[in-house]
A = this chain, B = another copy of it.
Amino acid sequence: MTFKDDLGRRAAEVEGYLVACLRDKGIPDRLLKSMEYSLLAGGKRLRPVLVLSWNGLLGGEAAKAMPFAASLECIHTYSLIHDDLPAMDDDDLRRGRPSNHKQFDEATAILAGDGLLTEAFGLMAAASLVEGLPADRVLRAVSVLARAAGAGGMVGGQTVDMELTGRTGVPLGELKKMHAMKTGALLTASCECGAILAGAGETDIDNAREFGRKIGVAFQIVDDVLDVVGDTATLGKPAGSDEAMGKTTYPALIGLDRSKTLAREYVDEALTHLSGYFGSEQEFLWQLARYIVDRVY
């Protein structure tokens, strides 16, 4: 099986869980449709896959960690819905389709986001209450995720991103910090929570966290690069939209070549945190890290 097939198979397993996870919860029809419209819009399911792979690498069972893994996709999806709103990035397109508030309406989009965020924490609890993972592990992971996704993490990162938009001369340090909050924190927490749920020791949890942090930086640099060199069909949105929106990017600050080199360096650093492990999950995480950066070569 090639790496891409393996990634696709894992994404499909997550998808299977996501399809069912909002059903039979008494959600009003239009709201449910709106939540599912965005949750089931495809995507690589990178965050759940990271939870499950780190969990598996450290001895966890995939089925038990699945509700928690799915919660990461709910949080990621809600953040995309809210970021696209007219008051925020005002994006009409997402993954090549109308964004949630264009397909439904603004009020429904706001509530669909709120619903997905709240449901995420219900799914986390289900990892213990339904799947039997120890409650103390799950609660520690809930705490890690609340911090990563909250006002000091992802939500705060969106605030900072909007503050920086349209500003010229943004220092590299500020750009890095913004990305660490906006996209890095959730990728980092995905790996860390996978390890925590497996009952791993602190050294393993540190490796998971650092691996996540470093591929998170690489991921963002590559995203910036793709916005310059990619085409609309691949991106699902117009290429060059960062520049058009007045966003500071890595290529704008340090050039295209140095951006690519920097992404590769971060991936190489991430890989050092896999060196003490072996087996199919180690191999998969290794290839996943390389895949992130290979997309621009």
Chain A residues near B (Cβ < 8 Å) = 22, 25-28, 30-32, 35, 78, 82, 85, 87-88, 105-108, 110-119, 121-122, 124-126, 128-129, 134-136, 138-140, 142-143, 146-147, 149-153, 155-156, 158-160, 162-163
Known: A122-B143, A139-B128, A139-B129. A114 touches B155 (CB 8 A): yes
- Nearest-neighbour CB distance to chain B for A48, whole angstroms, equals 18
6 pairs, CB–CB < 8 Å, chain A vs chain B: A114-B114, A114-B151, A115-B155, A117-B117, A118-B150, A119-B150
Residues A142 and B159 in contact, CB atoms below 8 Å apart: no
Report B-chain residues with C-beta under 8 Å of the C-beta of A26: 152-153, 156
Q: Choose one: B112, B118, B151; the contact of A25 (CB below 8 Å).
A: B151
Which label, helix, strand, loop or mixed, suits the secondary structure of the A interface? helix
A85 to chain B, nearest CB (A): 7
Partner of A142, one of B115, B125, B149: B125
Establish whether residues A117 and B114, one from each chain, have CB atoms under 8 Å apart when the complex forms.
Answer: yes
Known: A25-B152, A151-B27, A156-B27. A136 touches B142 (CB 8 A): no
- A87: nearest chain-B partner, CB-CB: B106
Q: B118–A151 contact, CB under 8 A?
A: yes
Instruction: Find the B residue at minimum CB distance from A85.
Output: B110
Which chain B residues border A126 with CB–CB below 8 Å? 143
Query: A87–B114 contact, CB under 8 A?
Result: no
CB-nearest residue of chain B to A24:
B152
Q: Which residues on the B side are within 8 Å of A88 (C-beta)? A: 107, 110
> Contacts A151-B115, A156-B28, A159-B30 known; A142 to B143 CB distance under 8 Å?
no
In contact, A159 and B82 (Cβ under 8 angstroms):
no
Q: How far is the CA of A134 from the CA of B117 in the complex (A)?
A: 25
- Identify which of B87, B117, B119 contacts A118 (C-beta below 8 A): B117
Chain B residue at minimal CB-CB distance from A115: B151
Report the Cα distance A129→B139, complex, angstroms: 8
Contacts of A87 in B (CB 8 A): 105-107, 110
State A270–B140 Cα separation when bound (angstroms). Answer: 36
> A110 to B110, Cβ gap below 8 A?
yes
